[in-house]
Amino acid sequence: MRNLITLTIFCCFFPLTEHLAGATGNPGRHNKGWRAGVATMVITPEEPVWMAGYAARNRPAEGTLHDLKAKALAIEDADGEVAVLVTTDLIGFRGNYMSGRIIDRLRQRYGLAANQVILSSSHTHTGPELMRPPEEYLHEGEKTGHYAPEEREKIIKYSLGLEDKIVDLVGVALNSRAPARLYSGHGVARFAVNRRNNTEADLKPGTQLAGPVDHSVPVLKVEGDSGEILAVVFGYACHATVLSFYKWSGDYPGFAQIALEKAFPGATAMFFAGAGADQNPLPRRSVALANKYGTTLAAAVEAVISEPMNELSPGLVTAFSRVNLQFANPSPTQEELLNILEESSGYPEYLKVSGRVLLRQLEEGKPLMVSYDYPVQFWRIGEQNMVILGGEVVVDYSIALRHILGEDLFVMAYANEGMGYIPSSRILNEGGYEGSRSPVFTSPWAADIEIRIIQEVIRLAGETGIRLSAAE
């Protein structure tokens, strides 16, 4: 039984108020319809680059299963308010370093604020490693995997080129805006399995699965003025971890997008990852299974599109804020880090790399992180509400937020920046992989992480005009 969020959230009341500084839009005045534009770009690395997602990898990529893509959808409402969704076949942007640079450039070039842009990642584990802030790299002489100077330089080169591509991509989408109609709906796909409650090796046909899941498939359809489908945006709450080999691919989300673009010629299919950080596609480990799950997801989307969908009135409201999240333990001392780096400490090598980075910061007199300003977005696209969260968010958040804000809510995770797992109070209490660490790897998040995030989502919803009664 969930108990933390029920203390205060369900009895909150949010009156209609002026929009916060980070919100845009006025859904009350419509004198024309939507305008929308889409754009697609291949972002597959042109040289062997280290891959992201699995610490055990020991060499760069060795080929391509299918191309990685970045895609952009620009929408404009009846009052000229604009927002842009960018979806990518990437693991995600670490922290706000690279994504912050992209947002800054989008603001300078196109006048877009942070609340008007979503940088979404599918979290494929067969995509490239992306660059990190300079302080997160080891010294030149410390050669470890993708931290080795020659590998790091290739990653940085690719990442800088990717920034240019995404900025240009957004410009193409903005410049291609034309009259459009938007529709929303929900489907179902049932291949996600809660990995905390089901052991992969023990699964057999007919096994009774345990643990919370979110099998919903949110769908946003964008039609052109003559009824042609311009874009299909869809999501699913499940790790993109079917594949773990050394070939570039979008994993099952990549196969789903390919299938939908074949089913709807001329349309751009755009996947976003939901709150599925504790969900895996099981069984897995083969291209055939990745294709199967992608085809299953695409079929769920097609089923939604084949039925009447909810047409959305041309009003757009976007909001962005940050909520300060604390850690359960103080940042590690120099002595604690030295103990972690001992050969017999039991820490895996990838965490020892992080330990060496933190130790160097202390030796240089730099303070370590003591909290994290976590990004939260809320979009209202006509009558469709969408919550957008950073990091690897577990399924409890989508379940709780839909209980509060309605079962038709879209919940997107892995957006804008990654700072590791975002556990719920349940997972923190249970322990285990998803709840064991924060951005400072020696400490879990503080116990109030879930209530802080959900309260901030509700605050933004209230600021964008959503009224919640005490009964909710």
pLDDT tens digits along 35-46 = 999 999 999 999
User: What is the secondary structure of 172-237 as a DSSP string?
Assistant: HHHHT-EEEEEEEEEEE---EEETTTS-GGG--TT----S----EEEEEEEEETTS-EEEEEEEE-
In tens, the pLDDT along 414-440 reads: 999 999 999 999 999 999 999 998 999
Tell me what the mean pLDDT of segment 108-116 comes to. Answer: 98
**Taking Cα atoms as reference points, which of 447, 380, 304, 10 lies closest to residue 388?**
380
pLDDT for 349-377, tens place per residue? 888 888 888 998 899 899 999 999 999 99
Consecutive H or E run containing 108: helix 97-110
Say if residues 412 and 95 touch (Cβ distance below 8 Å). Answer: no
Please, which residues bridge with residue 389 across strands? 376
| % the chain with pLDDT above 70 | 90
Hey, where are the domains in the chain? 24-316+390-424, 332-363
Q: Is the pLDDT of residue 3 over 70?
A: no
What does the pLDDT average to over 321-345?
Answer: 93
Average pLDDT over the chain, rounded to whole?
Answer: 89
What is the DSSP secondary structure assignment for residue 293, as one 8-state letter?
Answer: H
Residue with tokens 């980075």: 357
- Residue range 434-462: average pLDDT? 95
Mean pLDDT of 404-419: 96
Separation in Å, CA 114 to CA 96, 99, 169, 319, 356: 12, 10, 17, 8, 33
What is the value of pTM for the model shown? 0.91
Angle between helices 449-463 and 396-405 (to 10 degrees): 30
Going by C-beta distance under 8 Å and a sequence separation of 6 or more, which residues neighbour residue 118? 83, 84, 85, 86, 377, 379, 388, 412, 415, 416
Please report the sign of the dihedral spanned by the C-alpha atoms of residue 427, residue 429, residue 432, residue 433: positive
Q: Going by DSSP bridges, is the β-strand pair 229-236/268-273 parallel, antiparallel, or unpaired?
A: parallel
DSSP run (H or E) holding 75: strand 69-76
